[in-house]
Structure 1
């Protein structure tokens, strides 16, 4: 065989191996055995997850998010205390991702303008990072520097939620639980568990401002406790999982105004379940045909099918996550695999996804890791 042909085959084989392998980042609570943010290699063909290694030491980096170009990672420090740099604030850190091994190098850390940051996201243009501060009911936008680092938030990039709802202990004040950009980056949607509202903002990532949209919010049924939001790939619908009511609400989404209108609310638990449970995460499969939501207590993931015409949901099945407290889960970009993070089970459990039915099947692989909270594919 000629040398040129050998070289060509080698390059093609190397490209194939590279294309089928992804990195997976895991945010954790560091109260027990974990030390920070971990990274593992994932084979998209076999669904096999490698052993996680420590990518960066950090204090309770519960939620992490990747920049659109996959060069940077951002992580909140949920349990970093009531103050940061002398301010009554939590913190969020920016990291460079090493292209060779996936390990992280700290760029800088900035204040989040509120206490108990629990969720972080990045605008589609990569110019801003958004954080939800649970304990103080505050959301904030931080501009991204050219080196991937973060600027401090300004008064124009911070909003304090107001109000409360009916739950006697969980809704005595606003508790901002997540903030997500729209697909085009024009809007952001913040779910507040304490006020039973989804707040909508106009976003200017260049100037670093959050401005209330019109309407500024939409209310859910009292006692719902909205936690996380996921959007359909076509941008026409949003799905909000309600932690306290154990329900999932489907909204229509107006791409021009950002307005959300409730269409349907459906339970996430089986009708015969009588124990205590709360929901956590909600995600839409990349093809938009199925929605997934996690239940903590019932310790399961509920699979829903999506009506293509209306966006509304029908329950397909409830599948055990084979561990306690499935705080978060993630779908790989191909939509073939799901990784469930069992926070109190200290485990990541792998599932295959049936492309036609959306159903989940355990692959038999469980990876041990201390208190996993968030899973993100790179």
Structure 2
């Protein structure tokens, strides 16, 4: 049995008190949804033991620390609008929130632990990026995701500048140290690291509907390959790529595309190059994909925002199979 937490844009949609909930899943399907008191419209969650951290995209952007049964036990306001991602450091002592509208990332310190009487959140530093790109949505920087490489280094996807920023984290401060440059109009949304390697990663281009294989060479990071997630062409309306996950052994990469409403399964070679093996149709607007907790590499969760559904797919030797387990949930943005 797995416990899945759900985040979504559910404020103002009765009977939801917040956009946060949890549900159990077994091979027989989903159980009943349990509402969890939390922030409005949590667009991204991070699980940490018995607690959950969430960014709220409401009118007062914030990061909340939620303890099921107790609700929000700590909260910190964020400068800049549209927080859309949250990352927890490997030691569990710091968070980084990415703000799309503000084009910035915020470093927060975590005080106490799960049993602390004063489990606070402290804003330590904020880093604002600059620049733009050729696409109409690239008039300014738009930080979309931060990924910890280790305790001292971050990579930040910037949809607005066609760059993945390299950032150092030390002594409670953020410092922009370099950039990985993607092709013009890419719109980097999310990246995934190759398991067990420091020289390979994949970047999803939201605007160019592609996955970019990026390798570390003696002269720095470079794009080795670009593969489309819409080989048959974009859908009839807006088409944008969204989520990315990698199998635990690094042999397959999965990417969701909104508009065509598909998840693509790519086989990954030792050099990181991708080959499309399969493409499956999902619910409308698959914003998020991720591994089912405890079932990494075996069951994939797909949250279709505009369909209002969360589905579980089985994975067999890299390919996806629909198993009919679907949960209705308003405008899901995260599930895992």
Give the TM-score normalised by the residue count of structure 1: 0.81
Partner residue, 1:28: 8
4+ residue stretches of structure 1 with deviation over 4 A? none
Matched, 1:165 2:122: no
Q: Comparing both structures, which one devotes a greater share of its residues to helix?
A: 1
Distance in 2 (CA, whole Å) between partners of 1:268 and 1:104 is: 42
Deviations 1:121-148 (A, max 9, x none): 1011001011000011011110111135
Partner residue, 2:213: 250
Q: How many residues align?
A: 325
Partner residue, 1:96: 67
Matched, 1:140 2:102: no
The answer as to whether partners of 1:218 and 1:261 remain within 8 angstroms in 2 is yes
Please list every run of 5 or more consecutive structure 1 residues that lacks an aligned counterpart in the other structure. Answer: 1-20, 85-89, 98-102
Partner residue, 2:334: 374
Partner-residue secondary structure (3-state), 2:30: coil
Deviations 1:212-255 (A, max 9, x none): 23xx111111111110111111133111101010001111248x
Partner residue, 2:312: 350
The answer as to whether partners of 1:186 and 1:202 remain within 8 angstroms in 2 is yes
Partner residue, 1:282: 244
Structure-to-structure mapping, 1:235-274, within 5 angstroms:
235=197, 236-253=199-216, 260-273=221-234
Partner residue, 1:48: 29
Q: CA deviation at 1:72?
A: 2.3
Q: CA deviation at 1:47?
A: 6.6
Partner residue, 1:7: none
Pick one of 205, 210, 217 that aligns with 2:174: 210
The answer as to whether partners of 1:270 and 1:318 remain within 8 angstroms in 2 is no
Distance in 1 (CA, whole Å) between partners of 2:128 and 2:300 is: 35
- After superposition, the Cα gap between the structure-2 partners of 1:289 and 1:343, relative to the gap in structure 1 and judged at 3 Å, is same
Partner residue, 2:188: 226
Distance in 2 (CA, whole Å) between partners of 1:48 and 1:209 is: 45
- After superposition, the Cα gap between the structure-2 partners of 1:222 and 1:104, relative to the gap in structure 1 and judged at 3 Å, is farther
Partner-residue secondary structure (3-state), 2:43: coil
- After superposition, the Cα gap between the structure-2 partners of 1:226 and 1:150, relative to the gap in structure 1 and judged at 3 Å, is farther
Distance in 1 (CA, whole Å) between partners of 2:70 and 2:248 is: 27
The answer as to whether partners of 2:110 and 2:122 remain within 8 angstroms in 1 is no
Distance in 1 (CA, whole Å) between partners of 2:66 and 2:214 is: 34
- After superposition, the Cα gap between the structure-2 partners of 1:105 and 1:293, relative to the gap in structure 1 and judged at 3 Å, is same
The answer as to whether partners of 2:79 and 2:102 remain within 8 angstroms in 1 is no
Matched, 1:151 2:121: yes
- After superposition, the Cα gap between the structure-2 partners of 1:143 and 1:365, relative to the gap in structure 1 and judged at 3 Å, is same
Q: Comparing both structures, which one devotes a greater share of its residues to strand?
A: 2
Larger mean CA deviation between 185-194 and 288-297 belongs to 185-194
Partner-residue secondary structure (3-state), 1:63: strand
Distance in 1 (CA, whole Å) between partners of 2:187 and 2:109 is: 29
- After superposition, the Cα gap between the structure-2 partners of 1:250 and 1:280, relative to the gap in structure 1 and judged at 3 Å, is same
Largest Rg, 1 or 2: 1
Partner-residue secondary structure (3-state), 1:62: strand
Partner residue, 1:319: 280
Give the TM-score normalised by the residue count of structure 2: 0.91
- After superposition, the Cα gap between the structure-2 partners of 1:185 and 1:313, relative to the gap in structure 1 and judged at 3 Å, is farther
